[in-house]
Structure 1
């Protein structure tokens, strides 16, 4: 009888371990739950002043903070939060129209993802009509295009292509939202084609990405934009899309490398492969979002990667202060072929570059 019980326990053990792995992204200590953390961050956005690009237009970090809070409100059915976010947007379209971004740069066109998100939530066509031009002009060659922009356009890519890794969230997100809003395959197909080109040009054999072809450093948040961009595409690309397998390969190769470079404390460095570089939160949160999504969507092995994602989330939350602001966020960073430049970048508290990906993590964790 005892032998039979021992045999039964041995047979059940793998199932118990699998169940435990599944709970790694569900059961958290008090103060670490995604709903409570997300609420702190989403309502904090409402108290913030506008974060402007070149002092003129709503910036991409604010846009992503806004859409992150909006998605959190939808997922948790927080009608009060949704209404407050919508009121802020209506004010932008009336009293603050001068702050609406123009459509001439990759960091500005991505603003279209915000009205497109409002359209999906409300079905109000005014938001669709506002958002789609930002997606369309990304592939419409301007009259004053330079030779390089004309060359990218002639190859079927966005004229806004720069081969900076940041682009693969800026371009991907507005095209992905346009696809979700309209169902038109051209948006997701061209985003996927662009992503494959960036993968071929910038991903290294170890799975990580140079900031640009002439900047051979593995900058944390830059790599985070790539990780999050691939994640957004994989969520939407049909199984039979011709570029899906290549993007999935690039994503999985990157996640393996990130697992290997994760600090003992749980997050990643400003320069991922430099052990003496400082721990940075915005890129780490983007990696965590990509890892959580991969485990839940089945792109990554649950037993191998759920512990990595959990460890990262538990390490990230303590960086949020009592006001709901994330610390140790690298400021906006242009490319530079100088390693010390990345070591010396200032660190902000409450910067939307960090607030946004933390929100992405919360709704990824809340997904069924």
Structure 2
């Protein structure tokens, strides 16, 4: 696992690595009035890496690598803080999970203030009529993505439970409950990639593996922070358990999950696998799930462990480009490395 930690440390400070000439091309576009993406370094892939590193630190505080991890996390967040804590997208909030951990580790107030900036951004974000957060509001399409549940709700709920902010918890719960009601396929029990509230139309394929993974992470992380006396806790827990049962039925004999859960003869996707299994391992540790799920989780974990090469995990589906736009390109990406590292750490507690 240490090889993976080293790879995650490197990627956290270097992803995305720009090709030669990137800066010049960007400048030319700006000067000619063309649209350019902001230089977003607090993005969700880095958030997954930061979470994996923070999880490893929490489980191995006395290891030699622990100090290196803290230094790496500080470099990552300090860079963002120096640039004014700019938030560009909803999915930037996933980096807030490890940011809360870093404040608890160091006690440095700047990390608490940075988390405050994140939650304020989410509070001020546009919502639809049911209170859900559109993924890209500037596109004016009202699309709600399953990804948002995993990218936003864990931070909101952890922030709210850590700092006593029930508005943050309530916003997280609203996202999950709305998606459960409007984003699921009634026949299979699996999620669509997303939906639009106004029309009620559901979009994307049913059972895209990473959509299921994001949804499961969002629900399991929220349940880990949510008070079990709250009425919504039981509602979300039962919905989560049903989803886990439905997803596990699609696990391949080798322990992995396909890029599209129902496409059992298609390529396996290590990112979907790692996300799904991490969520299950997390929920076994918090007792949200019972031990019957352990054997499936262990089988998948062992399959992923066997695929680690030089600290990285290949066979990971490339970045999604939108609803039903899933380029069939596979390689090693942060979104397989980060959740796999978190999975392996969580599974240590179960063993």
TM-score by length of 1: 0.78
Q: How far, CA to CA, are the matches of 1:241 and 1:348 in structure 2?
A: 42
| Aligned residue number for residue 336 of structure 2 | 354
Deviation at 1:312, TM superposition (A): 1.0
Aligned to 2:208: 219
Q: 287-296 or 355-364: which moved more?
A: 287-296
- Which of 4, 15, 36 is the matching residue for 1:51? 15
Alpha-carbon distance change, 136 to 162 in structure 1, aligned in 2, over 3 angstroms: farther
1:329–1:78 distance in 2 versus 1, CA, 3 Å: farther
2:313 corresponds to which of 326, 329, 333: 326
Distance verdict in 2 for CA 1:50–1:202, change over 3 Å: same
Q: Which of 300, 303, 306 is equivalent to 1:315? A: 303
1:100 positional shift? 7.0
Change (3 A) 1:131 1:301: closer
Listed one character per residue, the Cα deviations across residues 317-355 of structure 1 (whole Å, up to 9, x for unaligned) are 11111x101111111102234xxx54x421122x11001
Output one character per residue of 1:236-277: Cα deviation in whole Å (capped at 9) or x when no partner. Answer: 111121211221122111111122111111111001011221
Quick one: distance in 1 between partners of 2:6 and 2:205?
38
For 1:295 and 1:74, the matched residues in 2 are separated by: 18
- Deviation of the 1:226 alpha carbon: 0.6
* Whole-angstrom distance in 2 between the partners of 1:100 and 1:119: 18
Where does residue 299 of structure 1 map in the other structure?
Answer: 288
* Structure 1 segments (4+ residues) deviating >4 Å: 92-101
Higher mean displacement: 173-182 or 127-136: 173-182
Decide whether the 8 Å contact of 2:8 with 2:338 is kept in 1: no
Determine whether 1:171 maps to 2:179: no
The aligned residue for residue 278 of structure 2 is: 289
Query: For the Cα contact (< 8 Å) 2:47–2:92, is it kept in 1?
Result: no
Inter-partner Cα distance in structure 2 for 1:306 and 1:365: 9
Q: Aligned partners of 2:281, 2:63: CA distance in 1, in Å?
A: 26
Which runs of no fewer than 5 residues in structure 2 stay unpaired? 18-36, 136-141, 195-201
CA contact (8 A) 1:67 1:117 kept: no
CA separation of 1:111 and 1:259: change in aligned 2, threshold 3 A:
closer
Pair 1:132–1:367, CA change in 2 (3 A): farther
Number of matched pairs: 315
Residue 55 of structure 2 corresponds to 71
Equivalences for residues 58-137 of structure 1 within 5 A: 58=41, 59-78=43-62, 80-92=64-76, 102-137=86-121
Counterparts of 1:324 and 1:204, CA distance in 2: 37
SS in 2 for 1:163: strand
Whether the 8 Å contact between 2:301 and 2:344 is mirrored in structure 1 is no
| 8 Å contact from structure 2 (residues 210, 259) kept in 1 | yes
Asked if the contact 2:134–2:144 (Cα under 8 Å) also holds between the matched residues in 1, the reply is no
Give 1:32's aligned residue. none
TM-score by length of structure 2 reads 0.82
Larger radius of gyration: 1
Deviation (angstroms), 1:358: 0.7
Q: Quote the offset at 1:224 in angstroms.
A: 0.4
**How many angstroms does 1:133 deviate by?**
1.1
